[in-house]
Structure 1
Amino acid sequence: MMNWWWLIGGVLLIEGLMPLLFTQAWRQTFEKLLQLRDGQIRFLGFVSAAVGLLLLWLNR
């Protein structure tokens, strides 16, 4: 059970470092994401979730 806390903590650390260290690039990325259509955003979410599940499965 403790491994999940490490995983969540690691994700939050990486997510927090991006806007902290690369503020302008982070802002530009979000501006580009806002221009995508809903289907494109859903596809990116699907791919991201699939890769995450694959990594979790490989780590078991």
Structure 2
Amino acid sequence: MDWLWQALALVLIIEGIGPLLFPNRWRLYLQQVSQHPSNKLRQLGGVLVVTGLVSLFYLAR
């Protein structure tokens, strides 16, 4: 179960790099993303989840 906490910690580190290093660009990016329709955001989320699951499947072998 330690691997789950390690993976979560890695996600937090990666997600925090953008706002830490480029706060103004990050804010602009979030404003642009918030203007997209919900169905496009949902599609993007689905693609990211499927890509992550496939990657995890192959990396965990």
Q: What is the TM-score normalised by the length of structure 2?
A: 0.89
The 2-side partners of 1:26 and 1:48 are apart by: 19
The 4+ residue runs of structure 1 with deviation greater than 6 A are: none
Q: TM-score, normalised by structure 1?
A: 0.91
What displacement does 1:58 show?
A: 1.1
Correspondence for 2:27: 27
Shift of 1:10: 0.2
Gaps of 5+ in 1: none
Which residue number in structure 1 is paired with residue 47 of structure 2?
47
2:50 is the alignment partner of 1:59: no
Unaligned runs of 5+ in 2: none
Percent of residue pairs identical: 35
Tell me the number of residue pairs that the alignment of Structure 1 and Structure 2 aligns. Answer: 60
